[in-house]
Structure 1
């Protein structure tokens, strides 16, 4: 959903896609991580949807 908010998907036929946007996860499920380690990279176009994508991604990651 975060990538969709950046413009990587369509909500209706004919809507423009932005092929250079998306989310690249830098870690996998169950990987050990350190404090301050980047977990993902968000590729955006002029900030379109960036804050919403960041919030969605943060809600979807659990560190225990």
Structure 2
């Protein structure tokens, strides 16, 4: 849940009704792992992809 709290702080305040929909780990090229965290709020899904090289990407999909 600390990831959700960090997302709330980054958004500038308290976000209500955030649900963790999915958390999965995948192995991609060169045996590198990535973790995909899917959050949902009010029908909008946000995927946060943590990559093995220490970077992260955020993908937002409106419901």
- Structure whose residues are more often strand by fraction: 2
Q: So what's the TM-score if we normalise by structure 2?
A: 0.29
- Structure whose residues are more often helix by fraction: 1
Q: So what's the TM-score if we normalise by structure 1?
A: 0.29
Which structure has the larger Rg over C-alpha atoms? 1
